[in-house]
Amino acid sequence: MTETTISSVLKEDRMFPPPEAFQSNAHIKSMAQYDKLWNLAKDQPEVFWGEQAKDLLDWHTPFSKVMEWNDPFVKWFSDGELNASYNCLDRHLETRGNKPAIIWEGEPGDSRIISYRELYEEVCRFANGLKKLGVQKGDVATIYMPMIPELTIAVLACARLGVTHSVIFGGFSAEAIADRNNDASAKIVITADGGYRRGKVIPLKDQVDASIEHSPTVEHVLVCRRTRQDITMDPIRDHWLHELTSDVSSDCPPEFVNSEHPLFILYTSGSTGKPKGIKHTTGGYLLGATLSSRFIFDLKEDDIYWCTADVGWITGHSYIVYGPLANGTTSVMYEGAPNHPDFGRFWSIVERYDVSIFYTAPTAIRAFIKAGDELPKKHDLSSLRLLGTVGEPINPEAWMWYHEVIGQKRCPIVDTWWQTETGSIMIAPLPGVTPTLPGSATKPFFGVVPEIVDKKGQPVPDGHGGYLVLSQPWPSMLRTIHGDDDRFKETYWSQVPGKYFTGDGARQDENGYYWILGRIDDVLNVSGHRLSTMEIESALVSHPAVAEAAVVGMPHDLKGEGIFCFVTLEGAGSKLSSDELKSQLTSHVASHIGAIAKPDEIRFTDALPKTRSGKIMRRLLRDIAAGRETSGDTTTLEDHGVLDSLRQ
């Protein structure tokens, strides 16, 4: 960590109380109720979490131990046994067997509605197919699939058998798949012939074939038929899913596992370039996903819930698969891109299926803003009652657009902060309780005890930016980095002893609300002032000509670091000359933040380099700003042409 705290300069005072109609029917209805539960979880965590685990989860063997903390390693409910698939499926069959579990739409327009009973039977058949291949408890299965129901089915089938799943997002390269196969010692790869993305077929099986040449532990490849294009099938190694499961039973008893049995490994990029296999276990993770889903999304029996993420990311694990299904919720699942055939696709899905809860990323929201208000206004969005954001801090102007155009000023917005490592949401409003401020994640969830500290681990004053740490264990936290306890301790526990180091900057305001300032790596050191790139981006986007902005540092002889801004424009912005608009934007940032934050360079661009999940790849922009060649892995980049145009 560096010598100083982070200067926080973004000011926001537009507060929105929960709508009375929403509040009167919410699971948690008052701040007093929130405070009582939050303080119980902080002061008596074993009492709070023990009660929640007994109430929310079905246990095959009840636990007598709640938490065992051996800094920095933790165990939750370690003498209890349960099964995650059972908690998502079996226990709902009597009361919700005919209720839709998944409403799925493919990018070409095909669709399926799968009830809880049908999902249970599909999962059992899939699990029995895995058994035929000798896959069993303790093995690791790599899953590399498009966003089709069989992806969720594969995840739950693994969980049913006690097989640890490692889902890889369907945009990764063969090399990346092989790296993850080898790190996890995967026994089987589950994939599909292909998937659809912007009208094109993504050849997933071809990537798997190339990866297998460098994956010596993989014995089998199981292939789901989706696009029906010609693929190569090895007669010994490869198996069609529909053939393997054609003659198996639709009943498969669950393998009850210890609460600390590894449920999944999920790889996230590390600063060294070597992927980190974040290991989550069964009982604690499932409790965190279930509880946070219920209260933060205020789930009701008749909700139609849609998280637009991919199951290949932690958001999809927690808030497409485990959290909603453990609560018996009906979830929408969509295969393709948000802009195919145009940026009205999401809103047509909301209208078609009467979606009531919508959870998406700020990058997607900014893309919708750029596409214009007329597309959402063509659709009936009156079914919506709650909106959410995930993935990065949302700038206030994007929040306001989301509130006014999509929520039509009646829907609370839950701006959620959490990480792959935390397993479930850590900081977010409770929609029936918390007055919201655009851009703030507001207050910590139950069992989450955040602190904002300087480099010595000392608390910083309210209003000052610092390093966000979590000072108390919680059930859904990562257990380690797969195969590398030393890296786990060094990455997350060495900076502030005894406290989890998030790697994010944050500040706390006079309301006790938390403002996430982005990754510490994205903080700029300008003339001795440490400035959050997120706040400069928010100032830029608040100008009516700007649709989206990404800010990175550039070498500067006098300041140490200069401020380099990549900006995409709204339609109105293109009518001004570039010099005139640059002058306007420079003055606009100075007036919103101060002269210290004035951009040194502004480059206009039609698009920003993003992953297929919609995150801006700022690492690549830093290379461009510094005049360096692009380094590191670019296999998750959505459109390589964006990089070429930026360099020109």
Give 220-243 pLDDT, tens digit per residue.
999 999 999 999 999 999 999 999
Mean pLDDT of 404-411: 97
Is the pLDDT score of 425 beyond 60? yes
Query: What kind and span of H or E run contains 82?
Result: strand 81-82
Q: SS3 of 425, please? A: coil
Distance CA 304, CA 159 (A): 25
pLDDT at 578: 85
Looking at residue 226, its pLDDT comes to 98
Collapse the DSSP code of 20 into the 3-class scheme (helix H, G, I; strand E, B; otherwise coil) and give the result.
Answer: helix
Strand locations in 435-490 (E): 450-453, 466-470, 480-481
Tally: H helices and E strands in the chain: 22, 30
Spatial separation of the C-alpha atoms in residues 291 and 314, rounded to whole Å = 16
Cα 250 to Cα 331: distance, rounded to the nearest angstrom? 23
Question: What pLDDT score was predicted for residue 552?
Answer: 92
pLDDT on residue 1:
40
Mean pLDDT of the chain: 92
Q: What pLDDT shows up at residue 347?
A: 98
How far is residue 265's CA from residue 78's CA, in Å, rounded to a whole number? 19
Longest dimension (CA), the chain: 72
Instruction: Give me the pLDDT at residue 463, please.
Output: 84
Q: Which two tokens stand for residue 93?
A: 């069959």
Which region holds residue 608: left if phi is over 0, alpha if psi is between -120 and 50, else beta?
beta
141 has pLDDT over 70: yes
pLDDT at 322 over 80: yes
Whether the per-residue pLDDT at 270 is higher than 80: the answer is no
Distance CA 422, CA 359 (A): 18
pLDDT at 196 over 90: yes
Residue 36 has pLDDT above 70, yes or no: yes
Q: Which residues contact 263 (CB under 8 A, 6 or more apart)?
A: 84, 159, 164, 165, 280, 281, 282, 285, 286
pLDDT at 357 over 70: yes
- Check if the beta carbon of residue 177 is closer than 8 Å to that of residue 169: no
In tens, the pLDDT along 441-477 reads 999 999 999 999 998 899 998 888 899 999 999 999 9
pTM of the entire structure? 0.89
What is the pLDDT, as a whole number, of residue 2?
A: 41
Q: Which is higher by pLDDT, 612 or 342?
A: 342
Average pLDDT over residues 216-221: 98
Place 596 in a pLDDT band, splitting at 50, 70 and 90.
confident
Q: Quote the CA–CA distance of 256 and 78 in Å, as a whole number.
A: 13
Domains of the chain and CATH, by start: 84-255 (3.40.50.12780), 521-647 (3.30.300.30)
Cβ proximity of 540 and 471 under 8 Å:
no
Please choose, from the candidates 471, 431, 432, 430, the residue with its C-alpha nearest in 3D space to the C-alpha of residue 450.
Answer: 471
Q: For position 618, what pLDDT does the model report? A: 83
Q: Please give the pLDDT value at position 594.
A: 74
**Average of per-residue pLDDT across 348-364:** 96
Dihedral (Cα; 172, 178, 180, 183), 10-degree rounding: -170
Q: Which residues contact 151 (CB under 8 A, 6 or more apart)?
A: 143, 145, 167, 311
Q: What pLDDT is stored for residue 9 in this prediction?
A: 55
Residue 560 pLDDT exceeds 90: no
- Single out the residue of 167, 168, 224 nearest to residue 192, CA to CA: 224
Nearest to 394 by CA among 16, 12, 34: 12
What pairs with residue 6 in β-bridges? 465
Q: Are 454 and 465 within 8 A, CB to CB?
A: no
Tokens of 458: 């000392």
Q: What pLDDT does 478 receive?
A: 98
Q: What is the mean pLDDT of residues 355-380?
A: 93
Tokens of 329: 């919720």
The arithmetic mean of pLDDT across residues 76-96, rounded, is 98
If one compares 154 and 394, the residue with the highest pLDDT of the two is 154
Q: How far is CA 228 from CA 223, 387, 398, 432, 510, in A?
A: 11, 36, 40, 47, 58
- Is 70 exceeded by the pLDDT of residue 179? yes
- In the chain, pLDDT over 70 holds for what percent of residues? 94
Beta-carbon contacts of residue 549 (< 8 Å; ≥ 6 apart) = 536, 537, 540, 541, 565, 566, 567, 568
C-alpha 623/C-alpha 343 separation (Å) is: 30
